[in-house]
Amino acid sequence: MSITVSYRGTYTVKPNTATWTGHLPLSELDQIGTITHVPTIYFYKPPPEWLHPADAIFATLRSSLGRALVPFYPLAGRLRWLEGGRLRLECNATGVSLIEAESEGELDDLGDFSLCPEFEQLVPSVDYTRPIHELPLLLVQVTKFRCGGLTLSFSISHAVADGPSALHFMTEWARIARGERLSVEPYYDRKVLWVGGDPSGAMPPPPPRHLEHSEFNPPPLLIGHTNNLEERKKKTTVAMLRLTKTQVETLKNAANKDRTGHHMRPYTRYETMAAHIWRCACKARKHEPEQPTAVGICVDSRRRLHPPLKLGYFGNATLDVVAASTSGELVSSPLGHASGKIREAIERVTHDHVRSAIEHIRRQPDLTLFQDVHALGSTRGPFYGNPNLGVVSWLTLPIYGLDFGWGREVHMGPGNHDFDGDSLVLPSLDEEGGLMVALCLQIVHMEDFKKFFYEDIVD
């Protein structure tokens, strides 16, 4: 596969009408985790010429983006560093970047759309050598192919929006492009997440003090190592692994094989897949049996809080928790054992746990140790590469059906990820009940991982 992309222009798009300006407080959950941009990409077959002339597509996207930025005005702002590794969001209508590009290739040249290095040309790149207050929070690239097909890709700052919020924006932008009204207004009030208390002076009740937050501890290191610098430098590769509905059901049956009692809920697809990925990674990495290993799990707290967050809450409401074990325990036990570890971690995310975690973060004098800033050239922050990994679920997100007026996508997926241990589980677009796993591992481990990933699917 060979793709050559030429760039026709980069445009700054601002809200069409005046929007609120000022400093929008960021919650503690906005301040930790991934604070760089998260890439996604959508692929579209050539739209019928009578439905949407090719020359009009970019103009439609550009004009509708300006209208979408009116309700979603924080995306047109900029971040600034504050003391202690904290960030502030300045809503100043500086604008977002819209890139127009084209390729002499055809969409069919991409085959089954498996992740490949060429995707980097199709996704907006962010120049992290520039000061953070100069970086757009949203970058969009439209790439037209010779056949008339196109890709639409997004890079959205994770400090401003988590997965549900990013998809909320993308879905509403598509509605606006189709000439429809906004479905759900974005909601920006961070007081619901106890950011320094209510501005009126009322402080929230103190959170429970007895809760532990192992998710903020440094992840395990390889046995015999005193840091992870060597592992961070090793070259990685990415793969998109597909599972049929039958293979998914086989894994779920294996995970639930030894569960007894009507009160025991069967393990979910995510609990099963995260466990399977975890075990296969331990095998592929050839760990010693006593090697400690952890898996990071991203849990959406929106419906776990009392009361739940208002529909349309825009920001970060996810909390990363950790399941831990040893490689020997995982690979020598049935799949359900690892699934149980995953479930235990998820079930810790209660209303009280989230409040306690937010208070824990608020009391930290320096947040840089909690932030994944590897794209900024830092070696601080959590590293979920060897012997660990992270498994993010997109299984319940509305990732498909993004129609800007010329039809739904034929494929969507993450942009390239180059972070060892980074994995993503998403539903298959081709088969109801099937799954896809996007995975980044060190090159030396990937082929063994693929081997175990499919060979270990047994009744």
Q: Tell me which residues are annotated as active site.
A: 158, 403
Calpha distance 231→400 (Å, rounded)? 35
> Which is it for strands 371-372 and 411-414: parallel, antiparallel or unpaired?
unpaired
Calpha distance 225→375 (Å, rounded)? 23
Straight-line distance from the first to the last Cα atom of the chain, in angstroms, rounded to the nearest whole number: 36
Single-letter residue type at 342: I
Calpha distance 171→72 (Å, rounded)? 12
* Burial status of residue 328 (CB atoms within 10 A of its CB: 0-12, 13-18, 19 or more): middle
Residue 140 near residue 26 (C-beta atoms within 8 A): no
Calpha distance 104→302 (Å, rounded)? 44
Q: Rounded to 5 degrees, what angle do the CA atoms 232, 40, 295 make?
A: 40
> Which is it for strands 389-393 and 422-427: parallel, antiparallel or unpaired?
parallel
* Burial status of residue 432 (CB atoms within 10 A of its CB: 0-12, 13-18, 19 or more): exposed
Instruction: Spell out the residues 6+ positions from residue 161 whose beta carbon is closer than 8 angstroms to its own.
Output: 75, 169, 314, 315, 316
